[in-house]
Amino acid sequence: MNSRYFDVVRPITIKQAYVILNQMKNSVCKIYREDGRKGTGFFCVIPYKNKTMNVLITNNHIIDEAYILRNNIILISINNDEKHLELNLKGRKIYTNKEFDTTIIQINEMDNINHFLEINEEMLNSFDYIYSRISIYMLHYPWGEEVMASYGLVKENIDQNIYYYSSSDKGSSGSPLLDIKNYKAIGIHLSYNKRTNFGTLLRYPINEFNNDINIIKEFKDYKDEDFTNLQLISKGSFGEVYSAYNIKEEKDICLKKINIEEMKLIYENNNLKDYQRDLDNEIKILKMLSNNKNCVE
């Protein structure tokens, strides 16, 4: 740790912790999975297409869209009160971003969640120019079932990531990062690396969510029997595009099936490399175009 930060890094006082936790503890939850994995999540009000939306935010290595499609009930604990959050997927927006390790789940009235953090949009918009000595609090579950508030100091931000000095431990992933002035959320905690915590600024996953690029999805956890009414639309070099009905999500979709072995063979015969990179790039392009008015969704 750089010694020049020692003079400003200080532990949170009992009085400060009491104020923060009383205001925020019902907005932070512990998330349990049936495989024993645990993490933190928080309920937040985010901007959405010139309106607002109540959501649950966590890391996608704790809960992602594929997990929710397999298990539509999530066990959470809010202020030591266990609750089964049953996610009726019909009409509910769920967004997973692997790049930012973030999952955003729309929260409806039927979910009976009443406490939501607010977002400091002003700070997020200026964060590229203010990258050090910003004080934050991290609300997390570091050593047990009681939510805690840890004081932290931002070291720097690189691209979408924010690096900061703060205490944390296992179970802290998915915790909200609050600016110290008004306790509004500015980021989400990801992990601990090289004696420094790091997370991502909320504006990046929120911007992606607002663009609805999750219209294009990779159905890696699906089987052929999860789709019906397949009708061929067109053929390409490596795959075929079908109109289909998604049984799990109960809606019509476009489904592209790619023959990986055939793709490998063509690449080998033409001395081409890295078919996986080109495949990933095609998925990225489709996501970028999914909100274009000139493209079929």
pLDDT at 97 (0 to 100): 82
Does the pLDDT of residue 270 top 70, yes or no?
A: yes
Q: Report residue 42's pLDDT band, with 50, 70 and 90 as the boundaries.
A: very high
pLDDT at 173 (0 to 100): 86
Q: Which of 17-26, 28-37, 52-61, 62-71 has the highest mean predicted lDDT (pLDDT)?
A: 52-61
pLDDT at 8 (0 to 100): 37
* Contact assessment for residue 162 and residue 150, using Cβ atoms and an 8 Å cutoff: no
pLDDT at 213 (0 to 100): 56
Q: Which of 179, 210, 241 lies at the terminal end of a domain, its last residue?
A: 210
pLDDT at 115 (0 to 100): 92
Does the pLDDT of residue 145 top 90, yes or no?
A: no
| Domain range enclosing 60 | 1-210
Does the pLDDT of residue 34 top 70, yes or no?
A: yes
Structure tokens, 240:
């075929």
Question: Are both 101 and 193 inside the same structural domain?
Answer: yes
Q: Any idea which residue has 């729309």 for tokens?
A: 106
> How much of the chain, in percent, has pLDDT values that exceed 90?
14
Report the alpha-carbon distance of residue 178 to residue 152 in Å, rounded: 10
pLDDT at 6 (0 to 100): 30
pLDDT at 96 (0 to 100): 84
Give me the mean pLDDT over the 77-102 stretch. 83
Q: Which of 210, 235, 251 lies at the terminal end of a domain, its last residue?
A: 210
Q: pLDDT tens-digit profile of 158-176?
A: 777 888 877 777 668 899 9
Q: Report residue 25's pLDDT band, with 50, 70 and 90 as the boundaries.
A: confident
- What is the average pLDDT value for the chain, to the nearest integer? 78
Give me the mean pLDDT over the 170-184 stretch. 84
Question: Are both 107 and 81 inside the same structural domain?
Answer: yes
Question: Are both 15 and 91 inside the same structural domain?
Answer: yes
The DSSP H or E segment spanning 185 is: strand 185-193
pLDDT at 287 (0 to 100): 64
pLDDT at 54 (0 to 100): 95
Give me the mean pLDDT over the 147-166 stretch. 79
Structure tokens, 69:
């499609």
Q: Which of 160, 195, 210 lies at the terminal end of a domain, its last residue?
A: 210
Asked if residue 297 belongs to a domain, the reply is no
Q: What's the N-to-C CA distance of the chain in angstroms?
A: 48
Which SS3 state, helix, strand or coil, does residue 198 take? strand
Which of 188, 169, 201, 174 shows the shortest CA–CA distance to 31?
A: 174
Total structural domains in the chain? 2
Asked if residue 294 belongs to a domain, the reply is no
